[in-house]
Amino acid sequence: MYGNYKDVQPGVGDILQGVVAGAIKDPTAPLKQYSALVNKALDTAIAKAKSEGAKVDRNDFTFSNWSADKNYLEQDYKSIK
């Protein structure tokens, strides 16, 4: 599946660099565009993987027990299976 994913540019690091350098005054629009392009790239990669016989969908990338304020550990993966 990941072999079918095409990286999106400019990336978050590029956008952040533009903010720090003063070239980007408000990162809201570039970040929204980046998010939309990443989602499109993921959907495209999933569709291609499916066409090659993989059993994959967006739910494979959903982690209901994920929290942004803590590390995601091996036991966290096991608890959602």
Report pTM: 0.77
pLDDT tens-place string over residues 3-32: 888 899 999 999 999 999 999 999 999 999
Q: How many CA atoms lie within 13 A of 80 on its CB side?
A: 13
CA–CA gap between residue 4 and residue 1 (Å, rounded): 5
pLDDT > 90? residue 40 = yes
pLDDT tens-place string over residues 43-66: 999 999 999 999 999 999 888 899
